[in-house]
Structure 1
């Protein structure tokens, strides 16, 4: 079926065609009445959900993409039949016919052989008897069967050779095209993938065309090497071009930035959150809005039917296979889960949509804080199936300042999982059994290398800080984690108001770790430290 045209995308085109007199009104019309409702034109693909009506005399027309067998005109009536009349752009009548209503009051007719690109107006009358009833308001549509032409891509930042930008740096790409029928509406694009199916509804990989038929986007190719940017142009009728492939080369950065919490190799920590459709959004920590730099589609999630929604996604540090961007760990916390972690080694390309995750088992042997073997307690977890919390804590090894360590809660105690990417061992940090009922947040190291753990008491929303200072020999003192109630209170974030609370480290580069939260109405809020809230807007 044809769908409602987006006024935002069609305004410029609509003004042009109306001003040119493309949609002429019939010479004489009766006053619209209530006997017929819901006039629509279909089929034909357009830009947004719903049917194309074009019945607002000062608004935009509907556009259809078929001339033979022709568009179908449809309406609902309380009368036993309805009469359809169609006029061309010159006001000449090209259809005058009566159709019988079905059992639900639906009535329809079709018209073939319409000229491509011409504008048509139409009305429907209820027929209680011949000539009776008042018509609908005047509706309008155009026919456009041709796809846009002249599709091209240009970038001064990334070319097929000798690009001035490095992998992990943003570059501007400009799209161009033309359409002499309904007008150019948008471009759909994807880096190293296949463009999604659809029109121009706002979303990832869609940019509206300007009045000059161009649009520019900023893209950050994470991995070094050859890339393909695939682009399609879409007109207001929904006609889509064949894909245009723009090939370019992103050189390796000889001095790549290093920042814990960074997944796309630009030196800025990133916030990873699912959107309402289950896609995983990568939002830069220094962003002023919720616009993502990367979108990993829901279909690429490693497990589950809801995409990335409901999965725990943690990152802070990397192993040798993925330096210098965070290794990403994903866990399914739902009952009956496999007990594995899904591990994505990451060189900055953040290609979670194209690579398969490695399965990581829970450590089965234990060491103490000095890494000496010790006996594991009998009630220890042997998988990640029943852990209560999981965060990427930061490195506790001075030889690997960006190394991987996870912190989780098992049977009410804190456990350190040492570098799961290297089949590391577990260290039990507490024996008090008091850590159930707390959300764990890992802010990462401060400028002096000291670590910390933040905890939110789920029942009260109280946020506390627990110091994990770095000692003179390079080891860490975990004694402050024995009792979560003994931490320093640094704020209050009730779960009902802030269902999600986390930290990707220092978001603004001031040397201080920062908190972020998702509110109950799905707004992303960042903080300077744990205060001075900044609302970045709603997460789609």
Structure 2
């Protein structure tokens, strides 16, 4: 056999194994060395429920399904010969449902690969096919039979819900926007006369029709024995909503999109907890997953399953990934939406700072507002003073950015930044027009080398700042008590080396530290940490770590 033919055969086997197929059938030949070395069908026969694909080129493997195609399935034969000359292949297809011949045809070989498209096959029938190599009037032995079944009909889908009845039904919703509703989806995959249907494999669903994926991806549910499935999902918009559902059969055929429209009333008594992004009243930990999606994990959770994930493509940066971004949250604009945190988004080194006004329970499907750098500063008394000459005109010097917590009686947030080794507090209208004023809290640049954590208020309304000394792993806590008559005492921030409360939080062991506030409901802010092997730990205050498992 010539080296070129060896490479071709090796390539065919490698493709089969990589795709998870059964090994290619053994070469068959007549006395001249003319042979078929591999056979495959396209699209690849599959069964989505079983999670299998393959050509079933034996007598024991259950054949997979081929769905709707343009013109019919394409059959491929890899052919080879010990002599040069024009190679082609003949293909024979038998209808196993009727026991009759269905197709005979030939395909010219290009680079040892011959193909033919088979039109006119019957919906719901099972087929067997084989190929023979042809050269100069010679014909090889037949390849082993391969098998597939055909499903050329789209399934159908239905949706119903008692939590959120359909618009126009006259029924009243029993749930509010921001709460999780139950939707029952059903489907049919009708068998054609004299044939078989592949059956429903799953239902895809999304409130944004453009988020509907293909096949049975993460946003899908599988039917039970009665053919229905239950979708439990949070309704993230007040007012009229549409849940889109698609049924997918085992051949990969998708139903037409079904839109289930309903009205979600606003909650007259919504839960309120600074640090909560998705509106369930429990503070959330926001961390990127391995694919750059932004995941929300409840601070009271027992594992790392996210409540919600925002797609990487929705990130407001050139990389379309949340991984390099700082995302800070604690507080919201009380005049704009229900009580749940607005999000502040910054990429270190970038001059821009964006805010997302969170009116969709953390879905982040709207637009961000850009923040201009403050043009005025203030002193400790609140008096307006000129900003120092080295005060940056944009946010590029903000090495770290935290949502510090509400400073007044309302939930409106404030920001803390680390710039040039000093701490700056930014307050004002952070939720709409970004009319900010900035106050310098420290001088001398002593905060270089510290990772900052903002735990928010305690039960008495006092604030604090935590900081990890990167060189030693020591964890410091600085009390920022609320003063009589309003305001806070920031004097403890003058000495970053003071207030050691724990040791061992080294950068190598815990690359990321943070706090979303009170995660366990005891009115004391809690720490969380990500270990070097991406385990998420939550703490009771600063002690008793609980391992929630590996992050996605």
Q: TM-score range by the shorter chain?
A: 0.7 to 0.9
In structure 2, how many angstroms separate the alpha carbons of the residues matched to 1:59 and 1:314? Answer: 54
1:131 to 1:360, Cα distance in 2 relative to 1, 3 A: same
In structure 1, how many angstroms separate the alpha carbons of the residues matched to 2:448 and 2:45? Answer: 53
Number of aligned residue pairs: give it.
501
The reply to whether residue 189 of structure 1 matches residue 181 of structure 2 is no
Displacement of 1:124 after TM fit? 4.9
> In the alignment, which residue of structure 1 is the partner of 2:56?
55
Counterpart of 2:26 (choices 33, 36, 43) is 33
Contact 1:148–1:240 under 8 Å retained in 2: yes
The reply to whether residue 178 of structure 1 matches residue 221 of structure 2 is no
> In the alignment, which residue of structure 1 is the partner of 2:294?
280
Give CA-to-partner distance per residue, 1:148-195, whole Å, 9 cap, x none. Answer: 12x21111211244211122221111111111322111212112x214
Q: How does 1:429-444 map to 2 (within 5 A)?
A: 429-444=441-456
1:358 to 1:526, Cα distance in 2 relative to 1, 3 A: same
Displacement of 1:324 after TM fit? 1.3
In structure 2, how many angstroms separate the alpha carbons of the residues matched to 1:523 and 1:187? Answer: 32
> In the alignment, which residue of structure 1 is the partner of 2:341?
326
The residue matched to 1:352 in structure 2 has which SS? coil
In structure 1, how many angstroms separate the alpha carbons of the residues matched to 2:327 and 2:545? Answer: 23
1:234 to 1:518, Cα distance in 2 relative to 1, 3 A: farther
The residue matched to 2:116 in structure 1 has which SS? strand
Contact 1:39–1:53 under 8 Å retained in 2: no
* Coordinate RMSD, CA, aligned: 3.3
Counterpart of 1:509 (choices 517, 521, 542) is 521
> In the alignment, which residue of structure 1 is the partner of 2:310?
296
Contact 1:263–1:348 under 8 Å retained in 2: no
The reply to whether residue 404 of structure 1 matches residue 397 of structure 2 is no
Displacement of 1:221 after TM fit? 1.7
Give CA-to-partner distance per residue, 1:265-307, whole Å, 9 cap, x none. Answer: 2111122233344333233333334433333333333232323
Contact 1:412–1:435 under 8 Å retained in 2: yes
> In the alignment, which residue of structure 2 is the partner of 1:116?
123
> In the alignment, which residue of structure 1 is the partner of 2:71?
69
1:256 to 1:140, Cα distance in 2 relative to 1, 3 A: same
Displacement of 1:33 after TM fit? 1.7
Contact 2:95–2:125 under 8 Å retained in 1: yes
* Structure 1 stretch displaced more, 169-178 or 85-94: 85-94
Contact 1:67–1:112 under 8 Å retained in 2: no
1:108 to 1:352, Cα distance in 2 relative to 1, 3 A: same
* Structure 1 stretch displaced more, 236-245 or 116-125: 116-125
In structure 1, how many angstroms separate the alpha carbons of the residues matched to 2:543 and 2:38? Answer: 52
Q: How does 1:203-352 map to 2 (within 5 A)?
A: 203=218, 205-320=219-334, 321-333=336-348, 335=349, 337=350, 339-352=351-364
The reply to whether residue 202 of structure 1 matches residue 217 of structure 2 is yes
Give CA-to-partner distance per residue, 1:336-383, whole Å, 9 cap, x none. Answer: x3x222112223533421x22111112222122332223432222232
Give CA-to-partner distance per residue, 1:85-108, whole Å, 9 cap, x none. Answer: 4443256554566655432x4333
1:264 to 1:135, Cα distance in 2 relative to 1, 3 A: same
1:44 to 1:206, Cα distance in 2 relative to 1, 3 A: same
Q: How does 1:85-100 map to 2 (within 5 A)?
A: 85-90=92-97, 92=100, 94-95=102-103, 99-100=107-108
* Structure 1 stretch displaced more, 319-328 or 409-418: 319-328
The residue matched to 1:492 in structure 2 has which SS? coil
Give CA-to-partner distance per residue, 1:393-417, whole Å, 9 cap, x none. Answer: 11223x33x2211111011101111
* Structure 1 stretch displaced more, 453-462 or 216-225: 453-462
In structure 2, how many angstroms separate the alpha carbons of the residues matched to 1:462 and 1:60? Answer: 61
TM-score of the superposed pair, with normalisation by structure 1: 0.82
Contact 2:205–2:212 under 8 Å retained in 1: no
The residue matched to 1:382 in structure 2 has which SS? coil
Give CA-to-partner distance per residue, 1:493-525, whole Å, 9 cap, x none. Answer: 444454433221122223232233344454444
1:93 to 1:493, Cα distance in 2 relative to 1, 3 A: farther
> In the alignment, which residue of structure 1 is the partner of 2:172?
162
> In the alignment, which residue of structure 2 is the partner of 1:413?
422
Displacement of 1:37 after TM fit? 6.0
> In the alignment, which residue of structure 1 is the partner of 2:382?
371
Contact 1:175–1:214 under 8 Å retained in 2: yes
In structure 2, how many angstroms separate the alpha carbons of the residues matched to 1:238 and 1:488? Answer: 59
1:125 to 1:329, Cα distance in 2 relative to 1, 3 A: same
Contact 1:67–1:116 under 8 Å retained in 2: no
1:60 to 1:346, Cα distance in 2 relative to 1, 3 A: farther
In structure 1, how many angstroms separate the alpha carbons of the residues matched to 2:511 and 2:316? Answer: 23
In structure 1, how many angstroms separate the alpha carbons of the residues matched to 2:131 and 2:386? Answer: 84
In structure 1, how many angstroms separate the alpha carbons of the residues matched to 2:110 and 2:209? Answer: 43
The residue matched to 1:481 in structure 2 has which SS? helix
Contact 1:32–1:134 under 8 Å retained in 2: no
The reply to whether residue 107 of structure 1 matches residue 121 of structure 2 is no
The residue matched to 1:424 in structure 2 has which SS? strand
> In the alignment, which residue of structure 2 is the partner of 1:467?
479
Counterpart of 1:359 (choices 360, 370, 392) is 370
* Structure 1 stretch displaced more, 217-226 or 126-135: 126-135
In structure 1, how many angstroms separate the alpha carbons of the residues matched to 2:543 and 2:134? Answer: 68
The residue matched to 1:189 in structure 2 has which SS? strand
In structure 2, how many angstroms separate the alpha carbons of the residues matched to 1:529 and 1:368? Answer: 32
In structure 2, how many angstroms separate the alpha carbons of the residues matched to 1:202 and 1:524? Answer: 25
**Unpaired stretches in structure 2, ≥5 consecutive residues:** 1-14, 17-23, 29-35, 82-86, 191-196
TM-score of the superposed pair, with normalisation by structure 2: 0.81
Counterpart of 2:158 (choices 141, 152, 155) is 152
The reply to whether residue 526 of structure 1 matches residue 509 of structure 2 is no
